[in-house]
């Protein structure tokens, strides 16, 4: 059936502006060391609260890197709902090529036989394509563009089309896929990235420039898309995040313009200050997923202008730390806005 059930990643910028649905295939694309694997690991951690099984398939990675990721997940108590199918860089090309199919077969077992929702992350498919290229060249098959064999598109489409959302008659299970592909110098026009963009239901583009500026996760909202859209988003999130993407895009344009303008109007200065506060709200540390109610509370504050009372950007994270640590019963008796104003006054006074 069509994708209509949300899958919460715990990452504010994704759940608010690029919502993911169960059964969707969302490509994560970016240069090396921009946080692609971290997004998958944080999603796996958050999904243990959603009762979704996870399969992590590292392909062609160093064994030490995979061990480090595994230890992080064990430390966060995720191992009971997690399977890792690994083919490290030291294994043969055949093992690296087949490992993604083994991981998908495992996910399909839970989807078809137990009717469970499953999340699978392929890290990364560019290395699997390189392994398949090596096999094809050894078999003396004619090479094509970038020396890849002619059926490389079929290899990846056959893999990713196995992710789906089943209807009620088939058990309502699902497989949600996050394929990762690494680019060189943000070149998304290379052969494998363009193939995967055309196969998947959207992409999260991670920018090196944003990462170097300290904006993490470094998701470029202007380029990142989801073809499912708000069909797989909670009603309360639609209410608070409806205009967020547009506001952020306008802020980026204003910020670029303000670098060349010496005298800014009062309205422009206010819009820039509000945009900086929203950008601070969307920053999120690794291993700190937020629940949907927490995200909605924070985004409602960003949209209402309450954060403008905070005198500096650096205090926004301090305020959010206090705000998110409040017990849930507080919000039953006192409105979110009143709580936030009181907490801001406390943080500023300190």
In terms of domains, do 103 and 216 share one?
yes
Domain boundary among 233, 250, 273: 233
- For residue 275, give the nearest of 260, 255, 301, 294 by alpha carbon: 255
Give the total number of structural domains in the chain: 2
In terms of domains, do 160 and 267 share one?
no
Instruction: Give just the sign of the alpha carbon dihedral 299, 301, 307, 308.
Output: positive
Q: What are 30's strand-pairing partners? A: 182, 206
Q: Are 176 and 54 in contact (CB under 8 A)?
A: no
**How many whole angstroms separate alpha carbon 51 and alpha carbon 135?**
38
In terms of domains, do 203 and 331 share one?
no
Domain boundary among 233, 265, 282: 233
**How many whole angstroms separate alpha carbon 250 and alpha carbon 271?**
9
pLDDT of residue 239: 84
Residues of the domain holding 20: 12-233
pLDDT of residue 246: 83
pLDDT of residue 64: 95
In terms of domains, do 142 and 160 share one?
yes
- Answer yes or no: is 5 within a domain: no
Q: Are 152 and 190 in contact (CB under 8 A)?
A: no
Angle at 121 between CA 115 and CA 125, to 5 degrees: 130
pLDDT of residue 66: 95
- Answer yes or no: is 307 within a domain: yes
Q: Are 324 and 288 in contact (CB under 8 A)?
A: no
Share of the chain above pLDDT 90, in %: 58
Q: Are 59 and 122 in contact (CB under 8 A)?
A: yes
pLDDT of residue 331: 63
- Answer yes or no: is 19 within a domain: yes
- Answer yes or no: is 251 within a domain: yes
Measured in whole angstroms, how far is the alpha carbon of residue 321 from the centre of its chain?
22
Domain boundary among 214, 233, 252: 233
Tokens 């595994």 belong to 70
pLDDT of residue 203: 95
Here the tokens at position 93 are: 């090309």
In terms of domains, do 191 and 256 share one?
no
pLDDT of residue 333: 57
- Answer yes or no: is 4 within a domain: no
- For residue 84, give the nearest of 130, 111, 53 by alpha carbon: 53
Residue 274 CB: number of other CB atoms within 10 A? 17
In terms of domains, do 75 and 156 share one?
yes
> For residue 330, what is the domain's CATH number?
1.20.150.20
pLDDT along the chain (350 residues), means of 10: 90 93 96 94 92 96 94 90 95 97 97 96 95 96 93 96 93 96 92 96 94 92 86 84 83 81 76 85 88 86 78 78 78 66 74
HEC string for the chain: CCCCCECCCCCHHHHHHCCCECCCECEEEECCCCCHHHHHHHHHHHHHHHCCEEEEEEECCCHHHHHHHHHHHHHCCCHHHEEECCECCCCCHHHHHHHHHHHHHHHHHHHHHCCCEEEEEEECHHHHHHHHHHHHHHCCCCECHHHCECCHHHHHHHHHCCCCECCHHHCCCEEEEEEEEECCCCCCCCHHHHHHHHHCCEEEEECHHHHHCCCCCCECCCCCEECCHHHHCCHHHHHHHCCHHHHHHHHHHHHHHHCCCCCCCHHHHHHHHHHHHHHHHHCCCCCCCCCHHHHHHHHHHHHHCHHHHCCCCHHHHHHHHHHHCCCCCHHHHCCHHHHHHHHHHHHHHC
In terms of domains, do 98 and 54 share one?
yes
pLDDT of residue 262: 67
Residues with a known catalytic role:
227
In terms of domains, do 225 and 88 share one?
yes
pLDDT of residue 350: 66
Q: Are 287 and 72 in contact (CB under 8 A)?
A: yes
Residue 138, burial from CB neighbour count under 10 angstroms (0-12, 13-18, 19+): exposed
**How many whole angstroms separate alpha carbon 62 and alpha carbon 64?**
5
Residue 260 CB: number of other CB atoms within 10 A? 6
pLDDT of residue 334: 59
Instruction: Give just the sign of the alpha carbon dihedral 181, 184, 190, 191.
Output: negative
In terms of domains, do 247 and 222 share one?
no
In terms of domains, do 228 and 270 share one?
no
In terms of domains, do 78 and 99 share one?
yes
- Answer yes or no: is 101 within a domain: yes
In terms of domains, do 200 and 72 share one?
yes
- Answer yes or no: is 35 within a domain: yes
Interval 135-181: pLDDT, tens: 999 999 999 999 999 999 999 999 999 999 999 999 999 999 999 99
- Answer yes or no: is 7 within a domain: no
Angstrom distances, CA of residue 211 to CA of 36, 88, 206, 214, 289? 11, 27, 8, 5, 19
> For residue 88, what is the domain's CATH number?
3.40.50.300
């Amino acid at each position: 059936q069509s994708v209509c059930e949300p899958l919460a990643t715990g990452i504010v910028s994704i759940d608010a502006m690029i919502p993911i649905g169960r059964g969707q295939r969302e490509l994560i694309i970016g240069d090396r060391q921009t946080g692609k694997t971290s997004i998958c690991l944080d999603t796996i951690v958050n999904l243990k609260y959603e009762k979704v099984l996870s399969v992590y398939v590292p392909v062609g990675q160093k064994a030490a890197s995979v061990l480090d990721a595994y230890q992080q997940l064990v430390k966060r108590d995720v191992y009971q709902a997690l399977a890792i199918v690994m083919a490290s860089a030291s294994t043969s090309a055949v093992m690296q090529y087949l490992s993604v199919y083994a991981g998908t077969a495992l996910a399909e077992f839970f989807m078809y036989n137990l009717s469970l929702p499953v999340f699978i992350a392929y890290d990364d498919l560019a290395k699997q394509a390189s392994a398949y290229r090596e096999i094809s060249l050894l078999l003396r098959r004619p090479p094509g563009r970038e020396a890849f064999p002619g059926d490389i598109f079929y290899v990846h489409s056959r893999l990713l089309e196995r992710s789906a959302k089943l209807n009620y008659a088939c058990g309502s299970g699902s497989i949600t896929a996050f394929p990762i592909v690494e680019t060189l110098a943000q070149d998304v026009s290379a052969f494998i990235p363009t193939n995967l963009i055309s196969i998947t239901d959207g992409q999260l583009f991670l920018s090196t420039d944003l990462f170097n500026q300290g904006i993490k996760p470094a998701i470029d909202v202007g380029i990142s898309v989801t073809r499912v859209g708000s069909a797989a988003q909670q009603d309360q999130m639609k209410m608070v995040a409806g205009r967020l993407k547009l506001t952020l895009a306008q802020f980026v344009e204003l910020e670029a313009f303000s670098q060349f303008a010496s005298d800014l109007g009062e309205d422009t200065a206010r819009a820039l200050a509000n945009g900086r506060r929203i950008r601070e709200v969307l920053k999120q540390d690794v291993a700190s997923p937020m629940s949907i109610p927490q995200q909605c509370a924070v985004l409602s504050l960003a949209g209402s202008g309450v954060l403008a009372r905070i005198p500096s950007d650096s205090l926004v994270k301090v305020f959010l730390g206090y705000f998110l640590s409040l017990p849930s019963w507080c919000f039953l008796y006192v409105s979110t806005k009143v709580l936030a104003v009181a907490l801001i006054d406390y943080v500023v006074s300190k």
